[in-house]
Structure 1
Amino acid sequence: MSEPGRTVRDATFDVLRRHGLTTIFANPGSTEIAFLTDLPDDIDFVLALHEGSVVGIATGWATAMDRPALVNLHTTAGLGNAVGALATARVNRVPLVVIVGQQDRRHLALQPFLAGELEGLAGRYPVWVTTPARPQDVPGAVARAWHEARDGRGPALVIVPSDDWSAPAADTPPGAPAVLYRASAVDPAAVDALTDLVGRAESPALVVGADADDAETWSALVELAERLRCPVWQEPFAARAGFPQDHPQFSGHLPAARARLRQVLAGHDVVLVVGAPVFRQYPFEPGPLVEDGTVVALVTDDAEDAHHSPVDLAVVASPAPVCRRLAARLPERTEAPVPVADRVAPPSPPGAGEPLRAAHVMAALAQRIPAETVVVEETPSTRPDLHRLVPARRPLGFLSAAMGGLGFAMPAAIGVRMARPDQPVIAVVGDGSSLYGIQSLWSAAHYGCGVLFVVLANGRYAIMDRLAEQHGKGGGKPPWPAFTEVSVHGLALALGCPAERVDSYPALVERLDAVVPTLGDRREPLVIEVTVEPERTFPP
Structure 2
Amino acid sequence: METQVQGRAAAGAQDAGTRPAATVRDAAFDVMRRLGMTTIFANPGSTEVSLLAGFPDDLEFVLALHEGSVVGMAAGHALGRGAPSLVLVHSMPGFGNSVAALATARLNHAPLVVIVGQQDRRHLELDPFLAGRLNGLAGEYPVWVDQPLRPQDVPGAIVRAHHEAVTARGPAIVIVPMDDWLAPAPAPHEIFGASRMLRSAGADPDVVEELAALLDDAASPVIVAGAGADSPDGWAALVALAERLGCPVWQEPFGPQAGFPQDHPQFAGHLPARRARLRDVLAPHDTVLVAGTGMLRQYPYDEGPLVEPGTRVAVVSQDAAEAHRSPVDVAVLGSPAAVCAALAGAVTPRRAFDGAPLTSRPPAPEPPAAGEPLRAAHVLAALGDRLPRDAIVVEESPSSRLQLNAHIPAREPMGFVSAMGLLGFGMPASIGLKMARPDRPIIAVLGDGSSLYSIQALWSAVQYRAGVVLVVLVNGGYAIMDRLSEKTGQAGPWPALDGLDIGGFARAQSCETRRVATHEELLRTLDELTVDLAQRETPLLLEAIVAQDPTFDA
Give the TM-score, by structure 1 length.
Answer: 0.97
Give the Cα separation in 2 of the matches to 1:327 and 1:80: 46
User: Tell me, what secondary structure is at the counterpart of 1:141?
Assistant: helix
Alpha-carbon deviation of 1:332? 2.2
**Does residue 358 of the first structure (1) align with residue 383 of the second (2)?**
no
Task: Please name the residue that 1:88 is paired with.
Answer: 104
Task: Please name the residue that 2:363 is paired with.
Answer: 345
Alpha-carbon deviation of 1:5? 7.6
The answer to which of 188-197 and 494-503 deviates more is 494-503
Alpha-carbon deviation of 1:353? 2.1
Matches within 5 A, 1:81-160: 81-160=97-176
Corresponding residue to 2:547 among 513, 522, 533: 533
Give the Cα separation in 1 of the matches to 2:536 and 2:20: 48
Corresponding residue to 1:458 among 461, 475, 487: 475
Alpha-carbon deviation of 1:535? 1.1
Task: Please name the residue that 1:300 is paired with.
Answer: 317
Task: Please name the residue that 2:55 is paired with.
Answer: 39
**Does residue 386 of the first structure (1) align with residue 412 of the second (2)?**
no
Gaps of 5+ in 1: none
AA aligned opposite 1:448? R
User: Is the contact between residue 497 and residue 527 of structure 1 (CA under 8 Å) also seen in structure 2?
Assistant: yes
Give the Cα separation in 2 of the matches to 1:422 and 1:335: 36
AA aligned opposite 1:245? Q
User: Tell me, what secondary structure is at the counterpart of 1:517?
Assistant: coil
User: Is the contact between residue 243 and residue 353 of structure 2 (CA under 8 Å) also seen in structure 1?
Assistant: no
RMSD: 1.4
User: Tell me, what secondary structure is at the counterpart of 1:243?
Assistant: coil
Give the Cα separation in 1 of the matches to 2:470 and 2:274: 31
Q: 1:386 to 1:336 in 2, by over 3 A?
A: closer
Per-residue CA deviations over 1:229-276 (Å, capped at 9, x if unaligned) read 111100010100000001111111110000000011012000100001
Task: Please name the residue that 1:397 is paired with.
Answer: 415
Give the Cα separation in 2 of the matches to 1:226 and 1:161: 55
User: Tell me, what secondary structure is at the counterpart of 1:524?
Assistant: coil
Corresponding residue to 2:529 among 506, 515, 519: 515
Give the Cα separation in 2 of the matches to 1:422 and 1:282: 35
Task: Please name the residue that 1:30 is paired with.
Answer: 46
User: Tell me, what secondary structure is at the counterpart of 1:532?
Assistant: strand
Task: Please name the residue that 1:313 is paired with.
Answer: 330
User: Tell me, what secondary structure is at the counterpart of 1:71?
Assistant: strand
Matches within 5 A, 1:53-68: 53-68=69-84
Matches within 5 A, 1:382-531: 382-403=400-421, 405-471=422-488, 475-531=489-545
Per-residue CA deviations over 1:4-39 (Å, capped at 9, x if unaligned) read 881000111111111011110001111000001111
Matches within 5 A, 1:161-200: 161-171=177-187, 172-200=189-217
Corresponding residue to 1:253 among 247, 270, 277: 270
Give the Cα separation in 1 of the matches to 2:19 and 2:126: 34
Q: How many residues align?
A: 536
User: Is the contact between residue 203 and residue 268 of structure 1 (CA under 8 Å) also seen in structure 2?
Assistant: yes
Q: 1:5 to 1:128 in 2, by over 3 A?
A: closer
Matches within 5 A, 1:188-267: 188-267=205-284
Give the Cα separation in 1 of the matches to 2:167 and 2:339: 19
User: Tell me, what secondary structure is at the counterpart of 2:541?
Assistant: strand
User: Tell me, what secondary structure is at the counterpart of 1:251?
Assistant: strand
User: Is the contact between residue 382 and residue 539 of structure 1 (CA under 8 Å) also seen in structure 2?
Assistant: no
AA aligned opposite 2:37? L
User: Tell me, what secondary structure is at the counterpart of 1:367?
Assistant: helix
Per-residue CA deviations over 1:336-363 (Å, capped at 9, x if unaligned) read 7646324222212222222210000000
Give the Cα separation in 1 of the matches to 2:147 and 2:277: 47
Give the Cα separation in 1 of the matches to 2:258 and 2:482: 28
User: Is the contact between residue 20 and residue 185 of structure 2 (CA under 8 Å) also seen in structure 1?
Assistant: no
AA aligned opposite 1:163? D
Per-residue CA deviations over 1:148-190 (Å, capped at 9, x if unaligned) read 1111111000000001111001224212111121222211110
Q: 1:510 to 1:104 in 2, by over 3 A?
A: same
Give the Cα separation in 2 of the matches to 1:390 and 1:91: 23
Give the Cα separation in 1 of the matches to 2:375 and 2:505: 23
AA aligned opposite 2:383? L
Give the Cα separation in 2 of the matches to 1:22 and 1:158: 17
Give the TM-score, by structure 2 length.
Answer: 0.95
Task: Please name the residue that 1:288 is paired with.
Answer: 305
Give the Cα separation in 1 of the matches to 2:122 and 2:242: 61
Q: 1:181 to 1:3 in 2, by over 3 A?
A: closer
Give the Cα separation in 2 of the matches to 1:508 and 1:316: 46
AA aligned opposite 1:65? R
User: Is the contact between residue 244 and residue 393 of structure 1 (CA under 8 Å) also seen in structure 2?
Assistant: yes
**Does residue 6 of the first structure (1) align with residue 22 of the second (2)?**
yes
AA aligned opposite 1:509? L
AA aligned opposite 2:93? A
User: Is the contact between residue 230 and residue 338 of structure 1 (CA under 8 Å) also seen in structure 2?
Assistant: no
Aligned-residue sequence identity (percent) comes to 58
Give the Cα separation in 2 of the matches to 1:340 and 1:424: 27
Per-residue CA deviations over 1:456-507 (Å, capped at 9, x if unaligned) read 0011210011111112xxx210100011010111100001111122111111
Alpha-carbon deviation of 1:94? 1.0
Q: 1:327 to 1:499 in 2, by over 3 A?
A: same
Alpha-carbon deviation of 1:43? 0.9
User: Tell me, what secondary structure is at the counterpart of 1:157?
Assistant: strand
Q: 1:139 to 1:331 in 2, by over 3 A?
A: same
